[in-house]
A and B are shown apart, each in its own frame.
Chain A
Amino acid sequence: MENVRVLVVDDEKDFVDLFVNRFNKRNVQASGAGSGPDALKFLQEQPVDVVVLDLKMPGMDGIEVLKEIKKRHPLVEVIMLTGHGSVEAGLQGMGHGAYDFIMKPFNIEDLLVRIHKARERKVLNEGRQG
C-alpha cells in the first residue's frame, strides 16, 4: 500500500516537529503547518490524504480551517485534535464533516490506526466518485 500523506496542523511547533519525525519513520509521509492559512496553502500545492488538525489555534481557529478544507478539498479527511471536554467543538466539527477526533494527550499507535481508517474512507469515496 502506498504511503499515507498526512498534514499536521498545530500552532505548537515542537509538537508538529515531533509528530512529523515520528510519523515519517512509519510509512507515513508527514508534513507540518503552523496555522490554518499555512495549511490551506499547503493543500493547494500538494496532495494530502488526511489532515490532523488542532482545534485551538490563535487567529483562524480549527473549525474555520475545517470548513475551508471541506469546501476546497471535500475528499480530504480531517481528524480533529481536541482537549478534553470540548463537546460543543466536537459537535460542530462532526457536523462540518470531520471524520474523527482524538484527545490530547494521545497514543501515537491509536492515532495511526485512525489515520489509516480515514485514508481508507478517502479511497472508498474516490472510488465512488471516479
Chain B
Amino acid sequence: MEPLLRSVRGRRLLPLGPALLVLAAALVGRDLTGLPALILALAAAAGVFWAVSWVAEQAARSRLEECRLEEELLQSQKMAAIGQLSSGIAHEINTPLAVIGQEAELGLMELDLPDLKAQAGLDAARDNLRQIALQVERCREITHKLLSLSRKMEAIVQDTDVNALTEDMVLLVEKEARLKDIELRRNYAESLPPVATDPALLRQVILNLLNNANQAVERQGHVVISTDMPARDRVRISVEDSGPGISPENMAKLFTPFFTTKPPGQGTGLGLSMCMTIMQRLGGAIQAASPPGRGARFEILLPLRPNGRGD
C-alpha cells in the first residue's frame, strides 16, 4: 500500500476511492438495512468529506504556490532595481572620491616639502589629511561592494567538495567563536558528491553566514553547520544559531541592501544582499527562517550541476 500511495500514479488514483465508495453506497444501499446500511452511509459520508477536503487543499496549495511565485518575482525585480540604482550611484561617486583621495595625498606631500616641513603647527593639518584619506578608503570599500552587487560576473565552475569548503570557513571563524564561548557544531552529510559550482563565490556566502551567526549569538551559545541533500540533484548547507532570532518585520527586509541590525560601523548591510546575488548567479537559492523562541536558520541550496549545462 505504501509504495503505491507514495508514487505519483498512486496519488492520482487516490481520489477515485471516495467516488467508488459513494457509487457503491448508491448501488447496494437500497438492499441493505440496519447496521450494514449505517456503516455504508457513514463510510460514504467520510468519503465525500475526504474528497471535498482534498480538493480544497489542492486549491489552497496552488493559491499559496501562486502567491509564493509572485512574491519571489517581486523580490527579484526589487533586487535588480536596487542593484542597478546602487551601482549607478557607486559609479558616479567613485570619480569624486578618487579626486578627494588624490588631493589629500598631494596635500600631504606638499606639507612635506622642505620649506613647510620645518614650520611648526602643521601636524594637525597632516592629521586632517590622513583622516580624509582614511575615510575615502572606507567609502571605496562600500562602493566596491555596491558595484559587486550588480556586476554581471559569470561564475567559474569547478568540481567542489562542499564539505571541505564549508569546513575551511568554519575553521576560519572557530577561534573568534571560541573566544566568545560559542560552540560550532558540525553536522556534515557523509559522502556528498562533488558539486559543480564557483568555489570562490560559495566561500564568500558561507563565510558571511558564519560571521553573521557568530555576531547574532554574541556570547555563549552555539552555531550548527550542516550539509545534506534534500533532493537527488541538490546540496543544502545550513547555518543555525542560538541567537535571538529575526523578528517577522525584519525578515521581510533581510536581503535588502543596506538593511542591518548591527551597531553602526559593524556592518554595511550589504552582506546578505551580496549572498543573495551570488546564490542567484550560482543557480541556487538562499532562505532564512526564524521559528519563534529559537535562533535564526539560513539555508543555501545549490544545484549539483548549474542549469543548462547538463553533466
A residues in contact (CB < 8 Å) with B: 82, 84-87, 90-92, 94-101, 103, 117, 120-121, 124-125, 128
Contacts and interface: CB of A to CB of B under 8 A. Distances in A.
Contacts of B154: 128
A124 to B, nearest CB: 5
Interface of B: 141, 144-145, 148, 154, 156-158, 168, 171-176, 179, 199-200, 203-204, 207-208, 211, 214
Contact of A117 (B158, B172, B173): B158
Nearest to A97: B200
B199 A94 contact: no
20 contacts: A84-B171, A84-B174, A85-B172, A85-B173, A85-B176, A87-B172, A87-B214, A91-B207, A91-B208, A94-B204, A95-B148, A95-B204, A96-B144, A97-B200, A99-B200, A100-B203, A120-B158, A121-B156, A121-B200, A125-B156
Nearest to A99: B200
B204 A87 contact: no
B200 A124 contact: no
Given A94-B203, A95-B144, A100-B203, A87 B173 contact: yes
B156 A124 contact: yes
Contact of A94 (B144, B158, B179, B200): B200
A83 to B, nearest CB: 9
A85 B199 CA distance: 21
A91 B206 CA distance: 10
